[in-house]
Structure 1
Amino acid sequence: MKIALFTETFLPKVDGIVTRLTKTVEHLVRAGDEVLLFCPEGAPSLYMGARVIGVPALPLPLYPELKLALPRPAVAEALEVFQPDVVHVVNPAVLGLGGIWMARTRQIPLVASYHTHLPKYLEHYGMGVLEPLLWELLKAAHNQAVLNLCTSSVMVEELSQRGIQHTALWQRGVDTEMFRPELRSDAMRRRLMGRHPDSDSLLLYVGRLSAEKQIERIRPVLDALPQARLALVGDGPHRAQLEKVFEGTATTFVGYLGGEELAGAFASADAFLFPSSTETLGLVLLEAMAAGCPVVGANRGGIPDIVTDGVNGCLYDPDDDASLTAATLRLLASPERREQLRLAARHEAERWGWAGATAQLRRFYRDVAGAGLQLAA
């Protein structure tokens, strides 16, 4: 098949959406599909055999890592030459809206997918009053598609309740060859602890340092566990504020890690804490689990699809200020308990490969191409 992808975020940015896209492109091309990808400028012109067309973009003021790329005639011309069987728009915003319009006006079957819970982000930026309006805009965009894919069962249900039609679950995936327990090392533990003395309670957060990730929730955990050490891997606009929040604690701001260094960080920590309650899936949790790192995540959004409380990790209640600390204490209660969770976490991750997730996506594409626009009419 010939597949045109429109995405508001791609390389060199690194996050869960980009990880899913790069793995999807790799497996689509490996399966014999032709892929053309439109994204904000800055990405390589060729990725794993797929042609990539960068579109000039401006950073979003409140979220500078997200760039708004305005569709232009060159995009329409490239799409016309490519003649795709399916257009897939990822998180439609500006470039994605152009992709929707081009697909609809050319009667190309359209798939959209929902990865970022933007309406819930608004409250963390003091704009919660705009949430109903944003839902209406999202509904108008997504209901142009023949099929709307979500990455967790909770999001399938929520989008359906919000009036977004033709929803389906796009199964999760993780690279269990990259993220593996064998990468645990003393050298990485020392790096994560920085200038702080060694401890058998090394806590880890990996992700964007931004307001919606609610990282400051970890501070009471450190107050309750004075022997614990915390490593924050990643960067973002909230870093300066977080440096003030964690001042005086045994916290190391590590910065970005990637590849085997990132996998080694997961494998070398004693617990992965992910306080965010706005996740549509939480791919980073699955990467931690694949690396054999026991996890604590919010009992909200897509995370309960991954974490079964007390079986392969621990869940906390984001509405209870003491719950994250209690869940972390429960996870660290004994080495034996931690080992059970670690093994169960790895076992869960091994169920979800990118090849299987992409094979499911290809079936969706074939069904949509066969159905044409009849569902969206």
Structure 2
Amino acid sequence: MVSESFLPTVNGVTTSVVRVLDHLAMRGHEATVIVPAAGSPREYAGFRIHQVPALAYRQFPVGLPNSQVSGLLAAFRPDVLHVASPFLLGAQAIASANRLGVPSVAIYQTDVSGYARRNRLSAASAFAWRLVRWIHEGADLTLAPSTTALADLRAAGVPRLERWGRGVDIERYHPSRRTGAGAADLRARLAPDGETIVGYVGRVAPEKSLERLAELRDIPGMRLAVIGDGPAMPQVVRALDGMPVTFLGALGGDDLADAYAALDLFVHTGTEETFGQTLQEAHASGLPVVAPRAGGPIDLVEPGVDGLLYDPASDSDLRTAVAGLVAAPELRARMGEAGRRRVLGRSWAAICDDLLEFYARVMTDRALAGARI
């Protein structure tokens, strides 16, 4: 497995990588992992972690092509290469695997067009998509997490595509936590007068557009909670100045699960999500979700059933959606129950078993192609 991100960096790429590694260990498979050097552990789930040189860019390590990659692949002789969100490091790994005759599965997780739009880089957008096509066309199979991402990749000319979503820990993220001491204590701190708590969970980064939460200013009976940290925190604090908001910082494990359980409504503002893992965690926790009608959330939220999708181009649609649910506790409860039912079949075990089937497919296809030569 070659990943452009790994522990201690926590993001969607890292989360899916460690879950896959957990599953491979549980199923009795062997793996070795190559990641950018950024203080990563030397092993995870019993698997060796190899670090290669990296440069820091906006708080993220960017792995650089290195002769170690080819040598590690040649020494390990894997049956399949898994490349998570490939860029420079992943591109080299795919090329090395092809030279060794090893099939590869590439996981697409970055909204290139959205990033370019936000930064007004139309020329760079065309170049970025050419780069994406160049990287992914070398892989035997590219897996994308949403219908929107699949459509973008098809439009860019990337071949051999399938959809592979993400799992959710339906045991840890559970509505029953709401009655536990951790969630109850947090609710008392966040909403001492019994207000409705609207919360966001995730990185506080420019692409998350958290400044839009200012549109919720002065909604009666509402308090905000922002769970996460990141480079855009100063701008977000300024944008929400004077609002009833609590910044809880980055949380993990049971603390994060309790924080979800303390909320009444989950809101997401970013329009560049290729998936939207926190939306699934919110649903698993029994929360209705309000998110933009863009990218991954389109697949994750059924409007009027388990949440609402708002028009990200509107100046009032987000406020209207949130205000309506803040004023309707019975509707929130019904939507939260529907959201929980929606994710019950998306355990990480089920999702990772699907991934193993994709591995088997590319291995079989490579073997058949070799037999025909």
TM-score by length of 1: 0.93
Cα distance in 2, alignment partners of residues 17 and 314 from structure 1:
26
Q: Give deviations 1:22-52, integer Å, cap 9, x for gaps.
A: 1111111211211111111222111112221
| Residue from 36, 46, 50 that aligns with 1:49 | 46
Q: Give deviations 1:170-219, integer Å, cap 9, x for gaps.
A: 13310101111122256546547857743431111111111110111111
Q: Structure 1 runs of 4+ off > 6 angstroms?
A: none
The residue that corresponds to 1:277 in the other structure is 271
The residue that corresponds to 1:8 in the other structure is 4
Shift of 1:329: 2.2
- What is the CA RMSD across the aligned residues, in angstroms? 2.0
Cα distance in 1, alignment partners of residues 164 and 182 from structure 2:
37
Shift of 1:220: 1.0
The residue that corresponds to 1:140 in the other structure is 134
- The answer on whether the counterparts of 2:186 and 2:262 sit within 8 Å (CA) in structure 1 is no
The residue that corresponds to 1:221 in the other structure is 216
- The answer on whether the counterparts of 2:222 and 2:326 sit within 8 Å (CA) in structure 1 is no
Cα distance in 2, alignment partners of residues 222 and 193 from structure 1:
21
The residue that corresponds to 2:56 in the other structure is 59
* Aligned amino acid, residue 30 of structure 2: E
* Aligned amino acid, residue 256 of structure 2: L
* Aligned amino acid, residue 7 of structure 2: L
> Does 2:100 correspond to 1:103?
no
> Does 2:23 correspond to 1:27?
yes
Q: Give deviations 1:305-351, integer Å, cap 9, x for gaps.
A: 11100111111111112111111123233221111011111111112
Shift of 1:91: 1.2
Shift of 1:125: 3.5
- The answer on whether the counterparts of 1:57 and 1:68 sit within 8 Å (CA) in structure 2 is yes
Residues 157-172 of structure 1 mapped to structure 2, 5 A cutoff: 157-172=151-166
Aligned residues: percent identity? Answer: 35
Long gaps (5+) in structure 1: none
| Residue from 48, 57, 77 that aligns with 1:83 | 77
| Residue from 359, 364, 367 that aligns with 2:361 | 367
Shift of 1:79: 1.4
* Aligned amino acid, residue 210 of structure 1: A
- The answer on whether the counterparts of 1:189 and 1:265 sit within 8 Å (CA) in structure 2 is no
Cα distance in 1, alignment partners of residues 230 and 188 from structure 2:
20
The residue that corresponds to 1:325 in the other structure is 319
> Does 2:20 correspond to 1:17?
no
- The answer on whether the counterparts of 2:190 and 2:197 sit within 8 Å (CA) in structure 1 is no
- The answer on whether the counterparts of 1:55 and 1:70 sit within 8 Å (CA) in structure 2 is yes
Cα distance in 1, alignment partners of residues 190 and 354 from structure 2:
46
**Aligned pair in 2 of structure 1 residues 324, 251: CA closer, same or farther (>3 Å)?**
same
Shift of 1:227: 2.8
Long gaps (5+) in structure 2: none
Cα distance in 2, alignment partners of residues 195 and 25 from structure 1:
36
Cα distance in 1, alignment partners of residues 265 and 291 from structure 2:
11
* Aligned amino acid, residue 325 of structure 1: R
Cα distance in 1, alignment partners of residues 232 and 193 from structure 2:
27
Cα distance in 2, alignment partners of residues 21 and 349 from structure 1:
20
* Aligned amino acid, residue 2 of structure 2: F
> Does 2:237 correspond to 1:237?
no
The residue that corresponds to 2:255 in the other structure is 261
- The answer on whether the counterparts of 1:199 and 1:228 sit within 8 Å (CA) in structure 2 is no
Cα distance in 2, alignment partners of residues 13 and 253 from structure 1:
20
Shift of 1:76: 2.1
**Aligned pair in 2 of structure 1 residues 350, 93: CA closer, same or farther (>3 Å)?**
same
- The answer on whether the counterparts of 2:308 and 2:321 sit within 8 Å (CA) in structure 1 is yes
Q: SS of the counterpart of 1:39?
A: strand
Q: SS of the counterpart of 2:217?
A: helix
> Does 2:240 correspond to 1:246?
yes
Shift of 1:115: 0.8
| Residue from 28, 33, 50 that aligns with 1:37 | 33
Cα distance in 1, alignment partners of residues 346 and 156 from structure 2:
28
The residue that corresponds to 2:206 in the other structure is 211
Q: SS of the counterpart of 1:272?
A: strand
Q: Give deviations 1:124-177, integer Å, cap 9, x for gaps.
A: 345344111101110111111111100112211221122111100113310101
Cα distance in 2, alignment partners of residues 90 and 202 from structure 1:
35
The residue that corresponds to 1:358 in the other structure is 352
